[in-house]
Amino acid sequence: MSETTVAERKSIEQIVHVSIDAQIENLVRSHKDLNITRAVKAPSLATGADPEGVKLLPKSSKKRLENDHIDLSKGYPEIPDRSEIPVFVDQAHAIRDYDMPYIERGKNADPEKKALLSAAKEVKDLTTHIGTVIVGLQLADLTDKQKDELALLIEERGVVFFKNQKLPPRKQRELGEYWGNLEVHPQTPHVPGLPGETVIWNDYLQKRGMNINFKNCNYGNFDIVRYGSVGNQVWHTDLVHERQPAGITHLHLDAIPEVGGDTIWASGYAAYDKLSEEMKKFLDGKKVVVVSYHKYLDRKDPFGEPKPVGRIHPLVRTHPATGWKFLFVNRSMTKRIVGLTPVESDVILNYLFDVYEKNVDIQVRFNWKSDPGYGTSAIWDNRSTQHRTIWDHEGRISRHGTRVTSLAEIPYFDPKSRSQREALGLPITKEA
Ligand SMILES: [Fe+2]
């Protein structure tokens, strides 16, 4: 047997003295083809800007990006490099794990919203409980006063829609910065050079290997634990695992299928008001364990199942601008009610998910279609609503957009706060 050389001994010593988790981290970071810690299991998903993606970009989207001088020469979209993506769950948890100052713009607004509403050609509620369309205003031209009033309108109505918009990505980002702290995601694709301008483009992910099809796109609505969520087709609220979760969130679509590709939102104020007064009393003050969509490795069990980032937030929250209570749960990311047995927690949470998902009178379904050459914006309060998309276009027709998320306050529950129906003086049925 040959003796080990000095060089070989040195290399063995190096391996021995580097901890296992550091070796794993190094392995994950240096092998970009490994799917470890990737939320979307797409073998061909690139890191950095994707030269192949540019070829798939719809014409209308490309035009919008180029008009705003976005550099597409290296590729599109830009996917954070392996070296930047957290490997371990503690690394992901540490992102924004500190107090961020937050100005609640809706709180400073004129409650009558005169500057915004008087400038619009038409303001139309789409349903009684959620969703309003504003016609005749360009989001790119709003004054600060109008932005404050729009924030309040979004917070009262859950979601506000603007069709026929000319909205450059940088303007969308600026608007988001006005309403809160920009969320910059460690994993999701973004517009090149504009972190925080998240690309929402499921047909791209599908073409790069994500398994989403007509049959499986709704599996998660039957059993999220067993079947998982493919491409956000399950009811959810974005980014609930953040220390200061998402507030006002703005999706602008610049490529819209001729038919389909709708999105549905549901009101959390109304979901709370659907409950009996006894149930409300029971839930007020309770806390829930919420988790991230993306999963990472556990240092103590690196070869085990990847784990999501977890945090504890109130189950019933008080909105800082409207002062109304809302139900802060969703099927995708709320895992457990603190203090209950797992069985009790499952039964109650599943009921609360159903309240959101099955009461169609507290939902709005929106079709994004605008006139040719224009895009459509939906701006919603990611605190007091849930949403989901509809994959009926099956990726055959492009649906592309950019999303900017403004992070809001640390969630709280004020026992003195009222429900929306109480505050508005609407009838509340008391159970016998
Ligand atoms: Fe979402």
364: in domain: yes
314 forms beta bridges with 287
Residue 323 neighbours by CB under 8 Å, 6+ apart: 414, 417, 418, 423
247: in domain: yes
- CA of 193 relative to ligand 1 center, distance in Å: 22
11: in domain: no
Q: Are 74 and 49 in contact (CB under 8 A)?
A: yes
- CA of 26 relative to ligand 1 center, distance in Å: 32
- CA of 113 relative to ligand 1 center, distance in Å: 28
Strands 132-135 and 122-125 turn out to be antiparallel
Per-residue confidence (pLDDT) for residue 35, from 0 to 100 = 67
The tens digit of pLDDT for each residue in 268-301 reads 999 999 999 999 999 999 999 999 988 899 999 9
Per-residue confidence (pLDDT) for residue 239, from 0 to 100 = 93
Lowest-pLDDT choice from 56-65, 179-188, 246-255, 351-360 = 179-188
13: in domain: no
- CA of 238 relative to ligand 1 center, distance in Å: 5
Q: Are 201 and 401 in contact (CB under 8 A)?
A: yes
d(CA 366, CA 193): 30
219: in domain: yes
418: in domain: yes
The tens digit of pLDDT for each residue in 116-165 reads 999 999 999 999 999 999 999 999 999 999 999 999 999 999 999 999 99
258: in domain: yes
Is this prediction's pTM over 0.85? yes
Domain at 221, CATH number: 3.60.130.10
Residue 425, pLDDT > 80, answer yes
Amino acid at 118: S
Residue 237 neighbours by CB under 8 Å, 6+ apart: 245, 246, 328, 330, 333, 382, 383, 385, 386, 387
For the chain, how many structural domains are there in total? 1
Q: Which residues of 119-139 are buried (b: 16+ CB within 10 A; e: fewer)?
A: ebeebeebbebbbbbbeebeb
d(CA 242, CA 248): 14
Per-residue confidence (pLDDT) for residue 356, from 0 to 100 = 97
- CA of 181 relative to ligand 1 center, distance in Å: 18
Collapsing DSSP states into helix, strand and coil, what is residue 139? helix
Domain that holds residue 39: 20-424
Residues in the chain: 432
429: in domain: no
- CA of 342 relative to ligand 1 center, distance in Å: 27
Q: How confident is the model at residue 396 (pLDDT cuts 50, 70, 90)?
A: confident
- CA of 399 relative to ligand 1 center, distance in Å: 15
Collapsing DSSP states into helix, strand and coil, what is residue 403? strand
